[in-house]
Amino acid sequence: MVSLLVEVLVLREIEHQDVDRAKLAGFLERRLPELAQENRTGEITWLLFLVVRLEIELSASQIAPLFQLENSMVALMLTFASSRGAISGTVDHGTWQQHLSAEGLKGPMWLYAYESIRNGTNPSTDRSFIEHEPFFSALLNRNIKFFDPERGFASIGSELRLRRAENTRARILRQDFLDDFDIDLLEFDEEEADQGTDMDFDDEY
């Protein structure tokens, strides 16, 4: 249900730009610490994705329990949000920074250790522990990424527009056929051209 809520809100903002961020911020500052106490990291990750995509500003002091969770996706989302100015106050990276090592790259926090350094959102700029590890150094040299929260639902938004355009064209074809058992291809082409301009979609979302 949380993933569906996030999807609806992100797509709503893409289409109408009318999501109330202030109300969402209040809800998230109450809900995220509760989820942290229950270690429900999946739901936390989805809600932090919402924070990043809608640029919702949260108070670090209100969501402090999240800083103790040893989960790569939670750590990455919080670090990324902080780097984008979505978290006011200081984010405590201490729990996660201990994994910035060769051993950390072999453990469950490897994604945070690699990605937060690769994308430059980590407070530390030391890449040596990655550069000295053969496998991850090869990935780093090629700038291979596993984490990009600024994308996601972009394809869904584009797909919805594509489906609407296809449905419109199909409706025209059906109606023409039912009206006179003939299809006006010129009308269809004109409608398709009109839909083509409507299909112009910002790839940043």
Task: Say if residue 183's pLDDT is above 50.
Answer: no
Question: Which pLDDT value is given to residue 194?
Answer: 47
Name the residue among 81, 114, 79 with its Cα closest to residue 100: 114
- pTM given for the model: 0.74
Domain ranges of the chain: 2-141, 154-198
Question: Which pLDDT value is given to residue 122?
Answer: 98
Segment 127-135 long-range contacts (CB within 8 Å, at least 24 positions apart): 129/100, 129/101, 129/102, 129/104, 129/105, 130/105, 132/102, 133/102, 133/105
Between 173 and 81, name the one with better pLDDT: 81
